[in-house]
């Protein structure tokens, strides 16, 4: 069962978050948080918070070792834009489009992903 966490309407363009998300896809939670800790990007702080939230959700739902979870999926989707108007020269107005995104992180138990205990249980049953 995947444990998910979402940050909706994150105040950052999805274009800036995609390279950071690529770095942590498929890693364990500990190594992903370690990787994000040393990145200077603001997007790394946002992803760090969402991963910690998903880890807390897993612990809340009864998973005993949340440090052993793997990052199954990281999705960065477009959200709406906030439009602001700046005064321009000769009476014109310039529109600022402040982009937003939705961040979704899914964590999964490695035994479920790779079938660790299930195969051993079947062998013992025979």
What are the pLDDT digits (tens) for 40-98? Answer: 999 999 999 999 999 999 999 988 888 889 999 999 999 999 999 999 999 999 999 99
Q: Provide the pLDDT for residue 24.
A: 95
* Main-chain phi, psi angles of 35, to 5 degrees: -65, -45
Strands (DSSP E) contained in the chain are: 3-10, 70-87, 93-108
Q: What residue has token string 């949340």?
A: 66
Tokens of 25: 């896809």
CATH number of the domain where residue 44 is located: 3.90.470.10
Sign of CA dihedral 54, 59, 60, 63: positive
- Residue 92 has phi, psi (to 5 degrees) of -85, 165
4-44-85 Cα angle (round to 5): 100
- The pLDDT value given to residue 34: 96
Q: Higher-confidence residue: 58 or 126?
A: 58
Tokens for 97, please give them: 């489009």
Structural domain of 71: 3-125
The pLDDT score that the predictor gives to residue 118 is 52
Instruction: Using the predicted structure, report yes or no on whether residue 119 has a pLDDT greater than 80.
Output: no
Query: What pLDDT is recorded for position 111?
Result: 83
- Number of domains present in the structure of the chain: 1
This prediction has a pTM of 0.84
């Amino acid at each position: 069962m995947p444990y998910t966490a979402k940050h909706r309407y994150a105040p950052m363009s999805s274009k800036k978050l995609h390279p950071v998300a690529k770095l942590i896809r498929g890693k364990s939670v500990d190594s992903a948080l370690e990787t994000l800790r040393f990145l200077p990007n603001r997007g790394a702080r946002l992803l760090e918070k969402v991963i910690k939230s998903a880890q807390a959700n897993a612990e809340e739902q009864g998973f005993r070792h949340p440090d052993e979870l793997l990052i199954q999926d990281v999705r960065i989707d477009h959200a709406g834009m906030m439009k602001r108007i700046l005064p321009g020269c000769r009476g014109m107005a310039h529109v600022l489009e402040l982009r937003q995104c939705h961040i979704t992180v899914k964590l999964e138990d490695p035994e479920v992903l790779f079938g660790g205990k299930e195969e051993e249980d079947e062998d013992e049953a025979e």
